[in-house]
Amino acid sequence: MTQAHIEVGIVAERRAVDSPWIDHAWTPLAVLPEPPPLDPWTELPGSADRRSFYLGPATLTLHSVDTAHFRENFQAGRAKLWVAIRPTGMEPEIEFVGVTADPFEGEVYAENVGDIVEALPMPVAIAEQVLAFFEAHHVEREFIKRQRSEHDPRKGGGPRPEPGARRRESES
């Protein structure tokens, strides 16, 4: 299996919410085509109720067995990247979980109840790299539908007992 690795930067947003239970919520905000020369957790320009942070660099890994999934991502309209973050309950408040261009892997991220997953627009520079990987490594596989055979209890599995055979054995 062939792999390619694309270095990206991850940005998350901490926004104020009007709730009696929490005062803020986190969400992935953007994927940058290249990690900027910033330290992780650098605060980016924003407002008091919407604060953005550069979480740090991340690696988007492309696998050759997933190329059909990448095609589905592009055929669905605007291509997306799925980013997952997780609350930690300590400082820093969240941690990066993963980033993927595979919609099915993005769905797997969403299965973890505590994680926050967002489908974000794929930047053009990353889309070009994903498409180039697709073109270089995609192999069309023919779908072969499995033929089912009808089950006949009289065939296979040995001879069928005669009616009442068990009863006769117990009578003797």
Give the type of residue at 123: P
Residue 144: per-residue pLDDT: 75
Residue 100 region by backbone torsions, left for phi larger than 0, else alpha for psi between -120 and 50, else beta:
beta
> Any idea where the domains of the chain sit in the sequence?
3-137
Percent with pLDDT over 90 in the chain = 56
Q: What is the residue-wise DSSP string for 65-105?
A: GGHHHHHHHHHTSS-EEEEEEEE-SSSSSEEEEEEES-HHH
pTM: 0.78
* Residue 58: pLDDT over 90: yes
- Biggest CA-to-CA distance, the chain: 92
* Residue 10: pLDDT over 90: yes
State mean pLDDT over 92-118: 93
* Residue 43: pLDDT over 70: yes
- Taking the CA of residue 80 as centre, how many other CA atoms within 13 Å lie in the half-sphere pointing to its CB? 18
Reduced to 3 states, what is the DSSP secondary structure of residue 114?
coil
Task: Count CB atoms within 10 A of the CB of residue 61.
Answer: 16
State mean pLDDT over 62-77: 89
* Residue 84: pLDDT over 80: yes
152 Cβ contact list (under 8 Å, min separation 6)? none
Rounded CA-CA distance 154/16 in Å is 69
